[in-house]
A and B are shown apart, each in its own frame.
Chain A
Amino acid sequence: MTLWETLLDPFGYQFFVKGMGAAVLAGALCGLIGVYITLRGMSYIGHGLSHAIFGGYAAAPLLGVPIVLGAGVWGLASALAINAIARSRRIGADAAIGVVTTASFALGVALLTRFGTKGPAFDALLFGSINGVADSDLFLLAGALVFAAGVFTVLYRAFLFSTFDPEVADVSGVPVKRMDALLMLVLSVSILATLKIIGVTLVAATLVIPAVIARMLTDSFSRMLWISTGIGATAGAIGMYLSFQLEIPSGTTIVLVDATVFLVVLAVTGGRALRRAGGLDDHTDVAATPTPLVGTAR
């Protein structure tokens, strides 16, 4: 077998081709939505929701509910619980995410350990897997990507304004609360669709790293969307290929490819690009200089 044949060998297996398609779609989806998540400072919510949905994945088969439906409802309920606890102002939003999502994750681990699973294997859910990608998974991923791309295209201006300056957007007639709710819905659907490929523990990285790299490479919001989506899709493809060749979980290889691209871009562009991405969700004016208010009598 020649080197070329060896390299192309995986494409002879249908399960690999399906896995590759799923990884590209998952990477593109996470890269696209990651732009909004990182610019809004919501990276921790992505991390938390993926852990919360894990509980739903474990519980749904035991309750006789389809996994996608059960995990989806579970994730949405977790998001609402986080919102309710955070709104009570007794504890902060970050603590609310920590409590709800880790409890849900722990419940998922307990249920899977005690009762096993009729769905994806335990370690596949945690770290992603190339195996067992069904047509239905591909349809779910493609549907989620079309849904997200449609929402972000049609409501491009409203999402841009409410991400940059929610207070003024609200005053200017943009329904900011509805936009936030819609973004949470897109995020939940995206995490649900990608969990099998990328895994609970690594979804957050695929949301954040491509968007951060894109921010390092451009000062344009629209270009950032394209670059982040492209990096996500490419990392998905390369990661899935490496997963097959090295027999390592696909989520792990996809994230390692993302991280490698980050390091390469950092090495090439230097500190200037990192500074650009450094204040990704800052809301401070670095150029401002304080001025005295009134004169003081001597």
Chain B
Amino acid sequence: MTSTAGALVTVTGASFGYDRSPVLLDVDYAVQPGEFTGIVGPSGSGKTSLLKLLLGTVRPQRGRVDRQPGVAVSYVPQLETVNWNFPVTVAECVLMSRSTRRLLPWATPTERAEVGEVLERLGIADLSRRHIRELSGGQQQRMFIARALLRRPQLLLMDEPTSGVDIGTRHEVLHLLDDLNREGLAIVLTTHDLNGMAAHLPHLVALQKRVIAAGPPAEVIVPDVLERTFGARMEVLHHLGMPVVVDTGEPVRLRPVAG
């Protein structure tokens, strides 16, 4: 069990499922201020459900999730889930974060200044009047991060931020998140990209309905943990001090998870 002292969000013994099928079983996890964690696991391992527990959009059927009072949490969805043809500009999309603070449609000068400031910080100020469809994958991700940052969060949750993007965009997003984390923002993201994403993060949680392992990549990206998490045998090589996962092509059967 991870330390819960001073944690922004604490998940204690949480189980969750849909239609009697368990998705998460007895999960313990605490998000500390300023941490940068990747939740890794294959499809169906419960990554997104754990993210939703942290967000508070679902409640555990057993166990509990406690959020530090007053902590602001922002969420960035997968790019694939968004209708990029929707008729909004970049600035309008970012301003959506202010939906609960003001009822009337038009933005105040203060709001316009705030949006301009956050777009400037993320290097996309010149795109503010563009339609969202005209953005590259990296710019789309920056826009969503800008929308999330406008709420001044202490914790940023991201669902597969590099899913379906090219290598250049992946690097761009990774460096941006690293910069934000250095400024003190806690970040928790899900990913099934071991080499391109997980190996670059300071802390990982390997998930297969239960927490299989948690720690730095050197402790999590190891053959035994990967086999129990992904159900496939993988070799781990090292290049410039970083683990590189190689799929051996040999399938193994996952041990059934006791409900």
Q: Does A246 contact B (CB under 8 A)?
A: no
Q: Evaluate contact between A224 and B87: CB separation under 8 angstroms.
A: yes
Contact with B along A54-98 (1 / 0, CB 8 A): 000000000000000000000000000000000000000000000
- Asked whether B99 lies within 8 Å of A282 as measured between CB atoms, the reply is no
Q: Count of chain B residues with Cβ under 8 Å from any Cβ of A?
A: 58
Residues of chain A lying within 8 A (CB to CB) of residue B68: none
Query: For A135, what are the chain B residues with a Cβ–Cβ distance below 8 Å?
Result: none
**Residue from A165, A286, A296 in contact with B77 in the complex, judged by beta carbons closer than 8 Å:** A165
Which of B88, B100, B163, B193 meets A158, CB within 8 Å? B100
Query: Complex: how many Å from CA A222 to CA B82?
Result: 19
Q: Are A167 and B79 in contact (CB under 8 A)?
A: no
Contact yes or no, B195 A164, CB < 8 A: no
**Residues of A contacting B194 with CB < 8 Å?**
293-294
Nearest chain A CB to B259 CB, angstrom units: 21
| Interface residue ranges of B54-78 to A (CB < 8 Å) | 55-57, 73-77
A168 engages B77 (CB within 8 Å)? yes
The stretch from B90-98, B180-188, B205-213 touching chain A is B90-98
Cβ contact of A296, chosen from B82, B89, B247, cutoff 8 A = B247
Q: Given A168-B75, A286-B84, check contact A291 B245 (CB 8 Å).
A: no
Q: Does B83 contact A (CB under 8 A)?
A: yes
A residues 132-160 with Cβ under 8 Å of B? 153-158, 160
Residues in A whose Cβ lies below 8 Å from that of B192: 293
Binary interface encoding of chain B residues 82-119 relative to chain A, with 1 for a CB under 8 A from any of its CBs, else 0 = 11111111001101111110111100000000000000
Residues on B with C-beta less than 8 A from A288 are: 79-80, 137, 163-165
Q: Is the CB of B80 within 8 A of A222?
A: no
For window 8-63 of chain A, which residues contact chain B by CB distance below 8 Å? 39
Tell whether B235 is near chain A: CB-to-CB under 8 Å. Answer: yes
Q: Which residue of B lies closest to A162 (CB)?
A: B99
Contacts of A183-239 to chain B: CB distance below 8 A: 215, 218-222, 224
Within 8 A of B (CB), among A156-185: 156-158, 160-161, 163-165, 167-174
Q: Are A297 and B96 in contact (CB under 8 A)?
A: no
**A278: chain B residues within 8 A (beta carbon):** 85
- Which residue of chain A has the shortest Cβ distance to B166 in the bound complex? A289
- Known A154-B104, A220-B89: A297·B164 in contact at CB below 8 Å: no
Listed residue (B80, B84, B98, B248) with the most chain A CB atoms within 10 angstroms of its CB: B84
Q: B164 near A291 (CB under 8 angstroms)?
A: yes
Contact A296–B99 (Cβ < 8 Å): no
In the complex the two chains form, is A157's CB within 8 Å of B75's CB? no
Contact A164/B86 with A155-B103, A158-B100, A291-B196 known, Cβ cut-off 8 Å: yes
Contact A153–B104 (Cβ < 8 Å): yes
Assuming A170-B57, A172-B99, A288-B165, is B248 touching A297 (CB within 8 A)?
Answer: yes
Q: Which residue of A lies closest to B130 (CB)?
A: A219
Q: Interface size bucket, A side?
A: 35 or more
Using Cβ atoms and an 8 Å threshold, which residues of chain B touch A39? 83, 86-87
The interface residues of chain B lying within 8 Å CB-to-CB of A161 are 96, 99
- Asked if A156 and B131 make an inter-chain contact with CB atoms under 8 angstroms apart, the answer reads no
Known: A165-B77, A172-B151, A220-B87. A291 touches B166 (CB 8 A): yes
Q: Is the CB of B249 within 8 A of A297?
A: yes
Partner of B104, one of A156, A174, A276, A280: A156
Question: B245 to A294, Cβ gap below 8 A?
Answer: yes
Contacts of B80 in A (CB 8 A): 283-285, 288
Q: Across the interface, do B164 and A169 meet the contact criterion of CB distance under 8 Å?
A: no
Given contacts A157-B99, A291-B165, contact A285 B105 (CB under 8 A): no
Interchain CA distance A169-B95 in the complex, whole Å: 12
Q: Does chain B have a CB within 8 A of A287?
A: yes
Question: In whole angstroms, how far apart are the Cα atoms of A286 and B137 in the complex?
Answer: 10
In the complex, which residues of chain A have a beta carbon less than 8 angstroms from the beta carbon of B89? 219-220
Known: A164-B83, A285-B82, A288-B137. A169 touches B249 (CB 8 A): no
Contacts of A174 in B (CB 8 A): 99-100
Question: Can you list 14 contacts pairing A with B, beta carbon distance less than 8 Å?
Answer: A39-B87, A156-B103, A156-B104, A165-B96, A167-B75, A169-B99, A220-B89, A221-B86, A281-B83, A288-B164, A291-B164, A294-B194, A296-B249, A297-B249
The 10 closest A-B pairs by CB, nearest first: A288-B164, A156-B105, A279-B85, A157-B99, A173-B100, A161-B96, A161-B99, A219-B131, A294-B245, A171-B75
Contacts A278-B85, A294-B234, A294-B245 supplied; 14 other A-B pairs, CB < 8 Å: A155-B103, A160-B99, A164-B86, A172-B99, A219-B87, A219-B133, A280-B85, A283-B83, A287-B140, A288-B137, A288-B165, A289-B166, A294-B194, A295-B245
